[in-house]
Amino acid sequence: MNSPLTRLLTQLLDVLARDVQAYRELHALLQAQFEAALAHRAATMEQLADRIVAQVNSIEGRREDRESVLTQLIGRRERPGLRTLAARLPAAVPATLRERLSLSCTQIEQLAMDCKQLNLRNCELIHEQHALMQRLLGQGEAVYAQP
């Protein structure tokens, strides 16, 4: 079966596979950022920050591709979403494509949540380090203390 629907689903699955790989790479970068922050390696952190931004921009760029294909598959009436698509797939769609779509959805959701948690953890660590340095330098939190 090589219908237009199957071709679009295959195209979408290719985009999703690249997203899964990109999120895995982002996960590794965020972990490396945390380790660099713990070791106070400023130059490494700066390099990692640039790579993290580039990776996020890459993922964001593919979002537009993904939404374009989803709009072709679902239509413009509904907000394009992977779960919406999965729920509306016709019975004629091969089980292997359904399974790949479901697995891709689950992987991307989990990886995105993991990356968000790692990013929050990193931000908290960096903020705490900054606050500590400000206190050591005699600046910072006293600004908000009452006289």
Distance CA 71, CA 133 (A): 50
124-140 pLDDT, tens per residue?
999 999 888 888 888 75
**Model pLDDT for residues 30-74, shown as the tens digit of each residue:** 999 999 999 999 999 999 999 999 999 999 999 888 888 888 888
Whole-prediction pTM: 0.84
Distance CA 129, CA 72 (A): 48
We find that the CATH architecture of domain 4-140 is Up-down Bundle (1.20)
What are the residue ranges spanned by the domains of the chain? 4-140
